[in-house]
Structure 1
Amino acid sequence: MARTKHAPAPECPAPLAFAMLGGKWKLWILQILIFEGTQRFGSLKRAITGITQTMLTSQLRALEEDGLVAREVFAEVPPRVEYSATEDAMDLVPMFTSMHDWWKRREKRGARRA
């Protein structure tokens, strides 16, 4: 049976959201900041298995530019920088909760893990 292609309606924001949140690391970063609170760079790096320093820096910058992560620099020696979820990022809590619940339902049905 042939698949029907569904293009989003021109006014559909989904492609924009996918572009903003897409990639391997952004949702992982946001999940930590939303549910575990403000983090320093090193603690984020340790929490995200396999991410490089360069990639974490890049992803944090992109999330900051998109208004999902706030970066606070403290005038201390040595310098201290903390990252936190913005109000816009906190609006994603229902999405994360739905994803969690969806995954748990899959596990109960014996679905394969990623």
Structure 2
Amino acid sequence: MTVENPNKWNDFHYENFEAVASYKNQDLSNNSLAPFRVGHKNSFVLTPSFEGQRPVALSNDEVSNFRNSTAFDIVLKLYFKYWTKIGAVKINKELQMACYLKVPLSFGGKSAEKFESTKCDN
């Protein structure tokens, strides 16, 4: 995951950054990330890791659709606080955003399709 700062003058300092992977409105796993700064006209790469097993309740139709799919829809929910300075004024904000991902599946030894990157805007 890459956080970009297109701003020409301000750095952004991110705190309390949490990423939650969700499927069918059911949270699967979450990951809290260490505070970081993104300088002006720069980017910062994050590598959240999601692991574990969590049962997800699916109807018979959903199970059938899932088995016939080549990808499944994951929502990556992001919650974070950031601050920046404009002159001598420090501005604090809290934001939430969601990124809609298509995650490729692999079955029976078949390799999954290539994962396509997704741009998320706030």
- Normalised TM-score (structure 2): 0.21
Query: Is the helix fraction higher in 1 or 2?
Result: 1
